[in-house]
Amino acid sequence: MKVHRSTLLRLLAISTVLMFIAKGLLAGPPLVCHSFAIGSAKSLPWVSHNWNLSGAETYDTSKLASDTLAILAADHSVIVHMETLRRATLYARKNPAAAKELLTKITMGTKSANSDETRGLTYFDSGYLAEVYKQWLGDGSQNPATGLDGHALIKEAIQLRGSDPEMEFAAALITLSGPTAEHEVHTRKAIAGAKNDALLARNLASRFNGNQGPTMAEMLTKTTVAEQRQ
Question: For residue 175, what are the CA distances in angstroms to 45, 73, 120, 150?
Answer: 29, 26, 19, 10
35/83 Cα distance (integer angstroms): 6
Provide the domain count of the chain: 1
Question: For residue 26, what are the CA distances in angstroms to 35, 199, 208?
Answer: 15, 23, 9
Query: Between vectors from CA 54 to CA 150 and to CA 90, what angle results, nearest 5°?
Result: 15
Which residue range is the domain that position 143 belongs to? 5-229
Contact, 190 vs 204, CB < 8 A?
Answer: yes
The whole-number mean pLDDT for each consecutive block of 10 residues of the chain, a chain of 230 residues, reads 47 36 55 93 86 79 97 96 96 94 92 79 96 91 92 96 94 95 97 97 88 87 54
78/165 Cα distance (integer angstroms): 9
154/6 Cα distance (integer angstroms): 45
Taking the model in full, what pTM does it have?
0.83
Given this model, what pLDDT does residue 12 score?
A: 39
Given this model, what pLDDT does residue 42 score?
A: 97
